Amino acid sequence: MNKNLITCPNGIPERKKEWYVFLAGPIQGAPDWQFDMPDIKNVVWLSPRRQTYVNFDYEEQTLWEQKMMSIADVILFWIPNQKEKVAGREYAQTTRTEFGEYLGRGKKVMIGIEDDKFSGYRYFVTKSKQYKTNVNNSLSELISELKEYISECEKNKTVYFTSDTHFSSDRALELSKRPFLDVDDMDLKLIEKWNNTVKPCDVLIHCGDFGDYSKIKYLNGKEINLLFGNYEYKEIGNTSSKEYAEMLKAEYGFDKIFIKPTKIKINKNYFVIGHEPIETKDFSDKNGNIFCLFGHIHGRQKIKKFGMDVGTDSNNYMPISIDDVLFYKNAIEKGFYDNEVFVQ
């Protein structure tokens, strides 16, 4: 069995650095193809097929699948030829529901069907065309598509920003009026939207108020860097800022910690990252103030004359890319917005 295979009900052993691929498709009546996946560099397979079904718990199974499909970077659907009939059950009946659901939720979905005479084949082909993907006819083709996708992403790695995730915070859920069922649902949806956007090869800069640090375990990013927000400062207690920063790196796996607003350079562009919106005169260069990327205000005004809110509440609960930041920076600096946008 592949050493990079996680099977239900096992969890993620350490901070996520690899590509996680969920092996979706029928289990009942299907061959156990999930145990024969190839060893691909930096790929971890997530299999809902258990190694044993002794003391099987249906609720545990469905919750595990929901969590892992949310965390995954790719959901790989493979529908092999049916091995045996299961009384009272349509072959791949759950797979049909999951396929439509996760396409609609913005996951990266890949699909393969061994036999084009499969009863749901036309549905899968039609939906795949609508979402600009294709249906493969063999598992080897499906794996080749996966390898090409990962290779392309790693060629185009980039930088993302976010802020004020406030993982596991009842207060953030209530006061920011986030559209989630409860805190657990909020955490899982924030993780899913993060991993749908940021790839394992990308860099993420978080501008403070992270929340439950244990959630970093599930999040994508070759580097996840954190700027202290007001909540990080509240948590420091009797230790020093530097000591607290070192603890966050050692215990949770943050890569860099910024203790105060900092000037950074990305692709020849300078920015100031700050938790709160700040005028950047102290960081100015020959061209004037440097564009500020901030959080703290939870979407109450996305753009200001001197910068923009990169917080999760301002950006559909997703990190925002450097390319999108530059789009807004250019629009602000060239006066593409009416003055009424900035009325105080």
CATH code of the domain covering residue 149: 3.40.50.450
- Mean pLDDT over each residue of the chain, to the nearest integer: 93
Task: Give mean pLDDT, residues 261-273.
Answer: 92
pLDDT of residue 283: 72
> What's the CA gap between 148 and 334, in Å, rounded?
38
Q: Are residues 149 and 184 in the same domain?
A: no
Which of 140, 155, 170 is the C-terminal boundary of a domain?
Answer: 155
The number of angstroms, rounded, from the C-alpha of 146 to the middle of its chain's C-alpha atoms is 18
* pLDDT band with cut points at 50, 70 and 90 for residue 82: very high
Which of 105, 125, 155 is the C-terminal boundary of a domain?
Answer: 155
Q: Are residues 170 and 244 in the same domain?
A: yes
Task: Give mean pLDDT, residues 192-208.
Answer: 98
pLDDT of residue 279: 72
Describe the crossing of helices 121-130 and 93-104 by its angle, rounded to 10 degrees. 10
pLDDT of residue 288: 64
pLDDT of residue 340: 77
Q: Are residues 197 and 329 in the same domain?
A: yes
HSE-CB of 254 using CA atoms within 13 angstroms: 23
Which of 155, 175, 201 is the C-terminal boundary of a domain?
Answer: 155
Which CATH number covers residue 215? 3.60.21.10
- Please provide the DSSP assignment of 261-286 as one string: -EEEEETTEEEEE-SS----GGG-BT
CB-based burial of residue 293 (10 Å sphere; 0-12 exposed, 13-18 middle, 19+ buried)?
Answer: buried
Task: Give mean pLDDT, residues 306-320.
Answer: 96
Q: Are residues 22 and 137 in the same domain?
A: yes
CB-based burial of residue 166 (10 Å sphere; 0-12 exposed, 13-18 middle, 19+ buried)?
Answer: buried
The length of the chain in residues reads 344
Contact 310, 293 (CB under 8 A): yes
Task: Give the count of domains, the chain.
Answer: 2
Give the tens place of pLDDT for each residue, 147-172: 999 999 999 999 999 999 999 999 99
The pairing of beta strand 43-47 with beta strand 5-7: parallel
Task: Give mean pLDDT, residues 236-265.
Answer: 94
Question: Cα angle at 93 between 90 and 96, to 5 degrees?
Answer: 145
Q: What are phi and psi of 257, to 5 degrees?
A: -125, 130
Q: Are residues 222 and 121 in the same domain?
A: no
pTM for this prediction: 0.94
pLDDT at 120 over 80: yes
> What's the CA gap between 184 and 218, in Å, rounded?
14
The pairing of beta strand 159-162 with beta strand 320-321: antiparallel
The secondary structure of residue 340, as a DSSP letter, is: G
Q: Strand, helix or coil at 76?
A: strand
Output the CA torsion sign for 283, 232, 256, 149. negative
pLDDT of residue 286: 61
* pLDDT band with cut points at 50, 70 and 90 for residue 192: very high
pLDDT at 285 over 70: no
Q: Strand, helix or coil at 335?
A: coil
Q: What share of the chain is helix, strand, coil (3-state, %, to 5)?
A: 35, 20, 45
Q: Are residues 27 and 143 in the same domain?
A: yes
pLDDT of residue 107: 94
* pLDDT band with cut points at 50, 70 and 90 for residue 79: very high
pLDDT of residue 339: 78
- For 125, residues 6+ apart whose C-beta sits below 8 A from its C-beta are 135
Q: Are residues 201 and 232 in the same domain?
A: yes
Residue 318: name the closest of 305, 337, 299, 332 by CA. 299
> For the chain, what percent of residues have pLDDT higher than 90?
84
- For 332, residues 6+ apart whose C-beta sits below 8 A from its C-beta are 291, 303, 305, 308
Q: Are residues 28 and 123 in the same domain?
A: yes
Give the tens place of pLDDT for each residue, 174-187: 999 999 999 999 99
Tokens of 195: 């991993």
Contact 192, 314 (CB under 8 A): no
Which range marks the domain in which residue 80 is found?
5-155
Q: Are residues 150 and 194 in the same domain?
A: no
Give the tens place of pLDDT for each residue, 209-247: 999 999 999 999 999 999 999 999 999 988 899 999 999
pLDDT of residue 278: 84
Q: Are residues 240 and 279 in the same domain?
A: yes
Q: Are residues 215 and 315 in the same domain?
A: yes
> What's the CA gap between 250 and 196, in Å, rounded?
26
* pLDDT band with cut points at 50, 70 and 90 for residue 323: very high
pLDDT at 1 over 60: no
Q: Are residues 221 and 83 in the same domain?
A: no
Contact 323, 302 (CB under 8 A): no
52 or 213: which leads in pLDDT: 213
